[in-house]
Every structure is written in structure tokens, then in C-alpha cells.
Structure 1
């Protein structure tokens, strides 16, 4: 199958109503073949396509790592490079994909969890772009929900996001704080219990509109 035909096929599988079946079909292709099409769809301005591509990338790269760990590392390094200032790009979708991959594969998570944490560390590889910060928080939260021990200590860097003027950052930070489960964030989460601003967040395979207060309340239950 030509690259162009494969890309069209992957796209059709991403947008079909039965995405569970679409994802299964994508995973039947050799992982290295579908990685590049998925890279392009992660950049999509269509939120449904973007998030389904993130989900598929996580599954495909985890499958790849099961048999070709070094090839999976190459994919992870590509995401990291995309987030590097020297790349000349912006790295849309890269932190989300990294988080999804690490949530699905322990070996890759053990190697790269510190990298995604470093994106919120002022003395680390801090990401300054606010829209990218949203992706970093989602990726960190996704990883934390699957493997909280690997991001132990990351809660200490969430304060600026929990106090952000951007409601989406506040909501994502609350969701991530709940995943990490560190009691140190409780006072900041308490302040968000009256924040009724609604934000969109990708949860359990779909985009959900949630008040920040709800995310904070759920996070406090987890802490």
C-alpha cells in the first residue's frame, strides 16, 4: 500500500463511529508503518481526530516497544525533539502522545517520565507556551493515572497552573493533581471549588466539558 493510501485508510479508521474497532484495525498494521500517518494526525485542528490519533499513537508505540524497544525510543525522542526550541517547530500534540504512550508501556515510562515532569519544572526543560502547557499537563496527568509512582514529587510544580488565569490550565492542573494524589495541593484545590468555569478535557476516550470546580472536587477525593 502506498504511503498516501495508508494515510487515507488510517484517517478513515480514526473518524469512524466505532473507534474501538478502528483502533483495533490500526493496530493490525505493522507499527512502524502507521507511526508517520499518526504523527500528522496528532497535528490536526480537528479535536476528535487529534485526540483519537493520540490514543492510537499510544497503542501503536506500546505495541512497537513490545518487540522493538529501540524503535519505540526513536519515536519518543522524536516527540522530545519536537518540543525542543532548536527544532524550529512548536510540538503540538507531542506531550499528550508521550503521556499516552507511557501510560500504556511501563518500560518507556520508566525511561522518559522524568522528561515530561521536567517540562513543568522552572529549572528543567520548562515549556513557556501556554497552549503547549495544556498538553504537558494532560500528558502528565495521563501518565500519573496509570503510574503515579513515576511522577512522585511532580505535584510541587503544579502551583502556577492551579493559580493560572487560564481556566483550562487550572482544570488540567486540578485533574493532574488528583492523579498524583499529593496532599500538598489540597489548599490550592480548595480555592477552586467555587470555580464554575467550564473547560474541555479528554477523558476516557472522549472530550468532556467539566467545570473546574468538579475537577478540583474529584482531585480532593483522590488526594
Structure 2
């Protein structure tokens, strides 16, 4: 089948509302064609197409990890390359897709989660403190969605990796959505923050629109603050 025709058909499928139906229809195409189309879909301006591609990557690559782990690793390394300065690209959608895959695959989470976390960290003074901090706010949003999704799914593991500290470093970000996503991610860790820490943000009574399990939710920021609020940090 013509590659362009396959891409068009898969993109039309990704526009549908029901995620289970999307994954079922996409699975009928050759895997290589699906993977190529999904990589392109991560850059699409249509939110449904882009986020459903993230979900499809989670299902497809986690399934590959069970039977063909090396093939799954190739996909993960491809994501890492797109986030590398030398690639010449920006890596749109890569953090989100990697996180979704790691939510579904314990093998790939164990092998690659430290790399995803490293994108929230700057280089340190000590040996082996090599961060890969992503500076562009738009890519930070995707990264924090990915980190946050993992925090809400595996809070103990993410706490053990020091994610609370890394997330707090985003509290001074100029981008409001970055701050909101960092606070949402923190709320998944079941940590408690002092009134002093939360005070600069509590005037925000807006909604955080976030993609969760195939649907878009409007989460009140006040509900996030309530979850984080406690007597002391």
C-alpha cells in the first residue's frame, strides 16, 4: 500500500474519539507503517491526532517489549535521538510517548526512566551529575506531562528517584502551563507542601486541561493545591 495513503488513513483513525477502537484499527496495518505514521502524528497540530498517537505508542511499543525487546529499544533510542541537539530537531512528542510506553512496560521503564528524568536536570558540580535539561517551554510541557503521568502511576518509584526536588525547580518558570504541570506532577507523588510554598500559586483559579487515559480533562488548579496542602513541606 502507498505510504502516503497509509499515513492519511492512520491520521483519520487517530481523529476518532474512542481509544480502544483507534488501537484496534491501527493494529491492522503493518507495524513499520504504523510506527512511521505515529512519529509524524506527534508533530501534528490536531490535539486528538497527537495525543492519540502518544497512546498508540504506549500500546504498540510495550507489546513489542514483551516479544521483541530489542526492537522496542530501537524505538526508545529513536526518541532519545530526537531530543539530542545533534539531531537538528526538537523532539516534539518524544517525552510524552516515552512516558506512556514506560507506564505500560516495566522492562522499558527500568531501562529508560533515568533518561527521561535527566531532561528535568541541569549539570551538577559532582562527577556523574550530567543532566540533559530541556529549555524550550513547549517541550517542557510535554516532559512534565510525561513525568507527571509516571508520578501519578508510580509515586513510590518516582519519589525514590528524587523527582519531588526536580519538579520544585520549575516553580519559578515564566510559562504558566509549565508551572501548572509541575504542580500537577507533584500532586501525584503524595507529597505535602507548606502554605508558604503554595502561596504564590493559589491565586490561580484556572483549569489545567490534561490528557489522561484517552480523554481530555479539565482539572481545577484549586483541587491540586488542596491535595498538596499541609502544615509543612
TM-score for the superposition, normalised by structure 1: 0.89
CA contact (8 A) 1:170 1:212 kept: no
User: Is 2:214 the counterpart of 1:205?
Assistant: yes
1:18 Cα deviation after fit:
3.0
Structure 1 equivalent of residue 184 of structure 2? 175
Matched, 1:22 2:22: yes
Label 1:195 to 1:3 Cα distance change in 2 as closer, same or farther (>3 A). Answer: same
Partners of 1:185 and 1:34 in 2: how far apart?
47
Return the alpha-carbon distance in structure 2 between the equivalents of residues 126 and 178 of structure 1.
22
CA offsets per residue over residues 157-216 of structure 1, 9 Å max, x none?
112323323221121111111222334688534653332133322123222333433333
Which has the larger helix fraction?
1
**Unmatched segments (≥5 aa) in structure 1:** none
Alignment map for 1:20-99 (pairs within 5 Å): 20-99=20-99
Contact 1:158 1:177 in 2 (8 A): yes
For 1:3 and 1:19, the matched residues in 2 are separated by 23
Q: Which has the larger radius of gyration?
A: 2
CA contact (8 A) 2:191 2:228 kept: no
Deviation at 1:93, TM superposition (A): 0.6
Q: 1:56–1:86: structure 2 CA closer, same or farther, 3 Å change rule? A: same
Q: Is the 8 A contact 2:167 2:186 kept in 1?
A: yes
Task: Supply the distance in 2 between the matched residues of 1:189 and 1:110 (Cα, whole angstroms).
Answer: 32
Moved over 6 A (4+): none
**Counterpart Cα distance in 2 of 1:105 and 1:28:** 22
Alignment of 1:106-125 (within 5 A): 106-123=106-123, 124-125=131-132
Larger deviation: 200-209 or 45-54?
200-209
Distance 1:49 1:185, change over 3 A: farther
Deviations 1:38-86 (CA, angstroms, capped at 9, x unpaired) = 0000110111111111111111111111111111111111111111111
Which stretch of the first structure deviates more once superposed, 150-159 or 118-127? 150-159
Q: In the alignment, does 2:202 pair up with 1:193?
A: yes
CA-atom RMSD, angstroms? 2.3
Q: TM-score, normalised by structure 2?
A: 0.85
Aligned partners of 1:156 and 1:184 also within 8 Å: no
Counting matched residue pairs gives: 222
